Structure 1
Amino acid sequence: MTILLYDLVGHDVGRPFSPHCWKTTMALAHKGLAVTKVPTRFLEVPKVEGGASKTVPVIRDGERVVADSFAIALYLDEAYPDRPTLFAGDGGKALARFIERWSQLTIHPYVATVALTDLHDMQDEPNAAYFRASREQRYGKRLEEVVAKRDAGLAAFRAALEPLRSTLAYQPFIGGEAPLFADYIVFGALQWGRVASPFQLLDDSDSITSWFERCLDLHGGIGRQVAAAA
């Protein structure tokens, strides 16, 4: 049975950009499960599965509807224990929770700053209006004013990634010798930036860049199927 994945897109349905949806895309591929994506724009999210969630990703697996990328990953490991694990036990779940919090507090704020105007430009007219109004209310200033500070914040952002950089000196993935959901959490955040904006988040020589390239190649190169923003 094919799982439905409601995936956030802009006017181009072939360029899904949500970091959280990318986590789920990678988790489903990790499990080797058949997926049908349902392209979903911001203003369509409240109608997904009868209002099942205020955000995507949302999946439907038969009669089961699950929202939130972490909850989806937990569900997939529980529902499909015979397929490759996303957590490798309770310790992996705890690790992934920590990585999720670290990513949300360290990576997401800066990537959002970098990509705000690019994300706005990816939307059709009604969704662009929604995006601008909601984000300008959140930041208390125009999108262009927020993005204007991205160059000044780049060095501090790269320095804040040192815990990940140091970890990757010991092992090829956050999960160890092979990726786990913890990897997909950070991958999703950086893929968000890659798909949305041509702004270079990482130096080419950074070990995190090498890790990210390995993640792009996972599962038949599913991450590369969407080209980087130009």
Structure 2
Amino acid sequence: MTILLYDLVPTDTQRPFSPHCWKAKMALAHKGLDYRAVPTRFTDVPKVEGGVSKTVPVIRDGERVVADSFAIALYLEDAYPERPTLFGGDGGKAMARFIERWSQTQLHPFLGSAALMEIYRLQDEENGVYFRESREERYGKTLEAVGAERDTHLAAFRKKLVPLRSMLEYQPFIGGERPLFADYIVFGALQWVRVTSTYEFLQSGDPILPWFERCLDLHGGVGRATPAAA
């Protein structure tokens, strides 16, 4: 049975952009599981599977409904143990949890604010109103004011990527010789900006870029199938 993935999209349903949905999508592809993405806009989320979650991703696998990207990865690992592992054991799960916290606290705040205005412009009128109201409440200032500050914070953001750059001197993926869910956590954050904005948050020649390109090509190029913003 095909798994359903509720996937956050703007007006253009071919441009899914949520970093968390990308984590789930890459996890499904890693496991080699058939799935169907269900395009879901911000204002659709409360209706997903009877309102099971305030956010997406949400998957339905037969009778099971699972929300939250990390919970989805854990579910897929347990439900399909015969397929390629997402974690490589309990240690990998613990490591991925650390990577998730690092990404959420060190990468997402800048990346989300850097692409904020572009994400807003991708929405239809109803979802644009929701996005503006919810994000301006979160940031305590207008979207325009948040977006105007991104160049000021860019250098500090790039410094936060030093651990990832250093690690990539030793191995091609965060997971080692092959990608694990930890890779998809960071990939989702960078893909978030790639598909919504032309903002150059990484410098040319940054060793993170070849890793990102490798991730885009994984699993038949599922990441690259969504084109970069132009």
TM-score interval (norm. to shorter): over 0.9
* Cα offsets for 1:104-135 (capped at 9, x unmatched): 01110000111111010111100000000110
Amino acid at match of 2:128: A
Match status 1:67 vs 2:82: no
- Where structure 1 has 5 or more consecutive residues not aligned to the other structure, the ranges are none
* Partner of residue 172, structure 2: 172
* Partner of residue 206, structure 1: 206
* Partner of residue 186, structure 2: 186
Paired residues for 1:67-106 under 5 Å: 67-106=67-106
* Partner of residue 217, structure 2: 217
Partner Cα distance (1:13, 1:204) in 2: 30
Partner Cα distance (2:109, 2:170) in 1: 27
* Cα offsets for 1:3-46 (capped at 9, x unmatched): 00000001000000000000000000000000111000000001
* Partner of residue 6, structure 2: 6
- Where structure 2 has 5 or more consecutive residues not aligned to the other structure, the ranges are none
Paired residues for 1:12-27 under 5 Å: 12-27=12-27
Q: Does the residue aligned with 1:53 lie in a helix, a strand or coil?
A: coil
* Partner of residue 50, structure 2: 50
Partner Cα distance (1:206, 1:140) in 2: 33
Shift of 1:203: 1.3
What is the root-mean-square deviation in Å for CA atoms of aligned residues? 0.5
Q: Does the residue aligned with 1:24 lie in a helix, a strand or coil?
A: helix
Partner Cα distance (2:77, 2:35) in 1: 16
Shift of 1:155: 1.0
Q: Does the residue aligned with 1:5 lie in a helix, a strand or coil?
A: strand
* Partner of residue 107, structure 1: 107
Partner Cα distance (2:141, 2:60) in 1: 37
Partner Cα distance (2:112, 2:165) in 1: 21
The alignment of Structure 1 onto Structure 2 pairs a total of residues equal to: 230
Paired residues for 1:152-163 under 5 Å: 152-163=152-163
Shift of 1:192: 0.1
Q: Does the residue aligned with 2:224 lie in a helix, a strand or coil?
A: helix
Partner Cα distance (1:179, 1:204) in 2: 23
Provide TM-score, normalisation by structure 2: 0.99
Shifted more, 195-204 versus 61-70: the winner is 195-204
Match status 1:228 vs 2:228: yes
Q: Does the residue aligned with 1:132 lie in a helix, a strand or coil?
A: helix
Partner Cα distance (1:110, 1:196) in 2: 14
* Partner of residue 37, structure 1: 37
Q: Does the residue aligned with 1:225 lie in a helix, a strand or coil?
A: coil
Shift of 1:204: 2.1
Q: Deviating runs (4+, > 6 A) in structure 1?
A: none
* Partner of residue 131, structure 1: 131
Q: Does the residue aligned with 1:84 lie in a helix, a strand or coil?
A: coil
* Partner of residue 147, structure 2: 147
